Structure 1
Amino acid sequence: MRSIIKKYAIIILIVLILLVITMAVSIVYGSKSISLSTVWEAFIRYDTEDMDHLIIHTSRLPRVLGALLIGAFMAVSGALMQGMTRNYLASPSIMGVADGSVFVITLCMIFLPDAAPMTLILYSLAGSALGALLVFSIARLLPDGMTPLTLAILGTILGTFLNGISQAMATYFQISQNMSFWYNARLHQMDPTLIKWTVPFAIVGLFLAIYVSKAITAISFGDEVAQGLGIKITAMKSLTILSVVILTGISVAMAGKIAFIGLIIPHITRFLIGEDYRKIIPFSAIFGALFLAWSDIISRFINHPFETPVGVVTALFGVPYFLYLIKTKGGRSF
Structure 2
Amino acid sequence: MNWKAKLQQRQISCFLLFFLLLLAAVVVSVLYGAVQVPFSTLIEAFTDFDKENQLHQVVLSIRLPRVLGAVLVGTSLAITGALAQGITQNPLADSGLLGINAGASLGLALVFAFLPAAGYWQILFVSFLGAGLSVLIIYFISSRSKQGATPIRLTLAGAGISALFISLSQFIALQFNLSQDITFWSLGGISAISWQQLKLVAPIFIASVAASFFFSSSVTILRFGDDTAISLGKNPRVIRLAVSALILLLSGLAVAIAGSVSFVGLIVPHMMRFFAGENYRKLLPFSAVGGAFLVVLADFIARMINPPFETPFGAVVAVIGIPFFIYLFRKGGNLG
Q: Same fold (TM over 0.5)?
A: yes
Partner of 2:27: 24
**Runs of at least 5 residues in structure 2 that lack an aligned partner in the other structure:** none
Q: What's the counterpart of residue 264 of structure 2?
A: 261
Quote the offset at 1:5 in angstroms: 10
Q: Count residues with an aligned counterpart.
A: 332
The correspondence of residues 1-334 of structure 1 with structure 2, limited to 5 A, is 14=17, 17-329=20-332
229-238 vs 46-55, which deviates more? 46-55
TM-score, normalised with respect to structure 2? 0.92
Amino acid in the other structure paired with 2:269: P
Q: What SS does the corresponding residue of 1:221 show, helix, strand or coil?
A: coil
Return 228-237 or 39-48, whichever deviates more.
Answer: 39-48
The CA deviation string for residues 299-331 of structure 1, in whole angstroms up to 9 with x for no partner, is 22323342111112111211011111111115x
Q: Distance in 1 between matches of 2:221 and 2:205?
A: 25
TM-score by length of 1: 0.92
- Counterpart CA distance in 2 for 1:317 and 1:278 is 27
Cα-to-partner distance string for 1:231-274 (whole Å, 9 max, x where unaligned): 20010000110010000011111111111000011101112111
Cα-to-partner distance string for 1:177-217 (whole Å, 9 max, x where unaligned)? 22332112122222322211111111221122112211111
Shift of 1:230: 2.5
Q: Could you tell me whether the CA contact under 8 Å between 1:144 and 1:150 is conserved in 2?
A: no
Equivalent position amino acid for 1:65 in 2 = L
* Percent identity for Structure 1 against Structure 2: 35
Measure the CA separation in 1 of the matches of 2:18 and 2:325: 27
Alpha-carbon separation, structure 1, partners of 2:96 and 2:148: 18
Q: Shift of the alpha carbon at 1:47?
A: 2.0
Measure how far apart 1:50 and its partner are: 2.0
> Equivalents in 2 of 1:309, 1:169: separation in Å?
21
Q: Distance in 2 between matches of 1:99 and 1:238?
A: 21
Structure 1 counterpart SS, 2:215: helix
1:20-40 superposed Cα distances (whole Å, 9 cap, x missing partner)? 322210011112211111212
The Cα of 1:277 is off from its aligned counterpart by 0.7
CA distance in 1, matches of 2:54, 2:182: 28
Judged with a 3 Å threshold, the aligned counterparts in structure 2 of structure 1 residues 206 and 110 are, in CA distance, closer, same or farther, namely same
**Contact 1:93–1:259 under 8 Å retained in 2:** yes
**DSSP-derived class of the 2:191 partner:** helix
Unpaired segments ≥5 residues, structure 1: none
